[in-house]
Amino acid sequence: MGITKSDLFTRQQNELANMAKAIAHPARIAILQHLIKKNACITGDLVEELGLAQATTSQHLKELKNAGIIQGSIEGASVCYCIDPKVWKQYNTVFNMFFKEVKNNGSSCC
């Protein structure tokens, strides 16, 4: 199996899970943090920064792009990546909403 039974869950649950998956790798977090710090940068810089092979870095960038968190624009022979502030904000909101659900009534267990 190894395949997630998405049909058992709500759209909201699947979406949140996918959003979490997008950032569920240290390399992708490192990419995002570097993009935040530098505001924007090209693939080559990220390859150096991460210490992973160029192919691997490119793959992680693709996943982040698929998730919509980053966008890439062609800059001559290079590609310049940056965070999409709108999607980023949406991520922040969705995660916040999820974590806000707990009403902290002291010790809650049985």
Partner DNA sequence: AAATATTATCGTAATATTGCGATATGGGAA
Partner DNA sequence: TTCCCATATCGCAATATTACGATAATATTT
Rounded to a whole number of angstroms, the minimum distance from the CB of residue 7 to DNA is: 10
Residue 9 three-state SS: coil
Mask 32-71, x = binds DNA (CB under 7 A)?
----------xxx--x----xxxxx-xxxxxx--------
Restricting to residues 49-88, name those near a copy of itself by CB under 8 A. 50-52, 71, 73, 75, 80, 82-83, 85, 88
Residue 83 three-state SS: strand
Q: How many residues bind DNA (CB under 7 A)?
A: 30
Q: Is 77 in the site for DNA (CB under 7 A)?
A: yes
Quick one: how far is CA 9 from the chain centroid? 21
Q: How far apart are CA 36 and CA 38, in angstroms?
A: 6
Contact call for residues 60 and 99 (beta carbons, < 8 A): no
- Name, in order, each residue with C-beta under 8 angstroms of 52's C-beta and a sequence gap of 6 or more: 27, 60
Site residues, a copy of itself (CB under 8 A): 4-6, 8-10, 13-14, 16-18, 20-21, 23-30, 33, 36, 39-40, 50-52, 71, 73, 75, 80, 82-83, 85, 88-89, 91-92, 95-96, 98-102, 104-106, 108-110
